[in-house]
Amino acid sequence: MARYTIALLPGDGIGKEVVEAALMVLEKTKLDVEYIEAQIGWEFWKTEGNPLPDRTIRILKNTACALFGAITSKPKEEAMNELAPKLREKGFVYYSPIVRLRQEFNLHTNMRPCKAYKGNPLNFRDDIDLVIFRENTEGLYCGVEYHPVPEDFRKVINKHRKMNKFKIVPNVEMAVSLRIFTRKGCQRILKSAFDFARKHKRKSVTLIEKPNVIRETSGMMVNEARKMRNQYPEIDFYETNVDAMAMWLVKNPQKYDILVASNMFGDIISDLAAQLIGGLGFAYSGNIGNDYALFEPTHGSAPKYVGMHKVNPIAMILAARLMLEWLGEEEKAAKIEKAVSEVIAEGKVRTYDFGGNNKTLDVAKAVADRIE
């Protein structure tokens, strides 16, 4: 039996193309692995009314972790129109398979390294090297939302003194999305960030919140962080408000090291940071839980490039690198890291998005060739 069993979820569109590229690179690391391909994405919504079939969940449950390409998703009406006619009116509702995977496997930590590789013409600066830890299952994206607002809930919030100005608004004219934090959730994401900083000898952890306005949820996160930092005396700790952070990241991104944030703030800040280091061709993340993890590029299925085999596979290759690191295969991870930085620095083999006209697999091959 192979040492690792890993699920491959190529998904839709260019997802398949970049996963093929990452496999070419992984092959060269001689990882002792058996891959099991599993189905996910738009195709399965259209034909089965479920973009994440139960058989896929079962496969994932029998693997160490998953490598995920990208999927297509579309707004409510289009989703209904594309559903197979025999499945319509059967009550199927499209639900994001990625969000479902995060919930189902409790992948509470979203880790997004944002490093500028020297020589990438898309870099904002060459000395950026941050890692963002975003809480992945709670906060504003926990899915507790109401429209119209149910009467029971209305009774509770009507007692709040700040509701006076809303009292005359009918339930149907009001929508509510709840931002729910748990102490455990706060501690978990903070610990991921501090532990990573310690392990990788990073200098600082910066918490991105907004406790001056969102007093209870942000306040809880800040209080937990202030307690936790005492256990990490060697690491500097800073607190910033999310709006100011957006400015600072554009002004002085090289000054930041490890960033930690709740779900929505982390989502926004990580897109900002991704653009500083070259955008979608380079941005990737790990969705990490206590005993399962899923690694993916940030980009989607890029329908306009499907079948052209020209998109940048580096984000996907780096997602595979992060997977190796998570598995404890640090030497193999370091080989991929070195090969990627050399290929980017040399500048001979590049896809269209960073100034070349090579194909997806040309870049993968160039990286693979540098791994001995």
**Shorter beta-carbon distance to Mg ion: residue 267 or 362:** 267
Measured distance CA(333)–CA(95) in Å, rounded:
33
Q: Which partner in Mg ion, ligand NAI, none is near 311 (CB below 5 to 8 A by kind)? A: ligand NAI
- Strand, coil or helix: what is 319? helix
**Shorter beta-carbon distance to Mg ion: residue 63 or 262:** 262
**Shorter beta-carbon distance to ligand NAI: residue 229 or 359:** 359
- CB of 44 vs ligand NAI, minimal distance in Å: 14
Q: Which partner in ligand NAI, Mg ion, none is near 260 (CB below 5 to 8 A by kind)? A: none
Q: What is the CA angle 95-108-36, rounded to 5?
A: 65
**Shorter beta-carbon distance to Mg ion: residue 17 or 267:** 267
Report residue 102: phi and psi, to 5°.
-60, -40
- CB of 96 vs ligand NAI, minimal distance in Å: 9
Q: Which residues bind ligand NAI (CB under 6 A)?
A: 70-74, 98, 280-281, 296, 299-304, 311-312, 315, 353
Measured distance CA(123)–CA(120) in Å, rounded:
6
- CB of 302 vs ligand NAI, minimal distance in Å: 4
Q: What is the CA angle 236-329-322, rounded to 5?
A: 60
Q: Give the single-character DSSP code of 261.
A: E
- CB of 199 vs ligand NAI, minimal distance in Å: 27
- CB of 122 vs ligand NAI, minimal distance in Å: 11
Which of 5, 10, 103 shows the shortest CA–CA distance to 61? 5
Measured distance CA(76)–CA(245) in Å, rounded:
34
CA Rg value for the chain: 22
- Member of 267, 325, 329, 362 binding Mg ion (CB under 5 A): 267
Residues that bind Mg ion (CB under 5 A): 267
